[in-house]
Amino acid sequence: MIQYALKCTDGHRFDSWFKSADAFDKLLSAGMVNCAVCGTTHVSKAIMAPRVSTGGAETAQPQTPTPAPELHKQVLAELKAHIEKTSDYVGDRFVREARDMHDGLIPERPIYGEARVDEARKLFEDGVPVAPLPFVPGRKTN
């Protein structure tokens, strides 16, 4: 695992963990790294101080400030409200709908729903533009 200090074009700074440097590069080039504050995909690595273990007692290292937990909750609530307002909830039909849109079988529209990790990974590998949501969608009855 590797932690990067990141920043977006609007100047927001935040930290995020990635499996590896290659994983970060792949996700960034696929447009799947988003600002934790505003959601933009125009993100880059920020300058950060390295953390070096000397084998002795750890000393505090300067870190990039991250938004307060209250701000995270507010931003996630706003993101969820925006997605629910501007997208169609397709539930467990998400994989089929996303693939059919990608293949040109049905008109494109913003959707969200549920998929197993292996199904989402297959969509991503096949070039279907998908991204995980940082919240559990509310189930709609209609």
Q: Per-residue pLDDT tens for 116-138?
A: 999 999 999 999 999 888 887 77
Domain boundaries, the chain: 1-49, 67-142
Cβ-contact 130, 101 below 8 angstroms: no
Q: Per-residue pLDDT tens for 39-78?
A: 888 989 887 656 555 555 555 555 555 556 777 788 888 8
Q: Per-residue pLDDT tens for 16-31?
A: 888 888 888 898 888 8
The closest alpha carbon to 115, from 123, 126, 106, 125, belongs to 123
Q: Indicate the Cα dihedral angle 117, 123, 126, 131, nearest 10°.
A: -90
54 vs 112, which has greater pLDDT?
A: 112
The DSSP H or E segment spanning 101 is: helix 94-102
The reported pLDDT for the residue numbered 68 is 62
Q: pTM score, two decimals?
A: 0.51
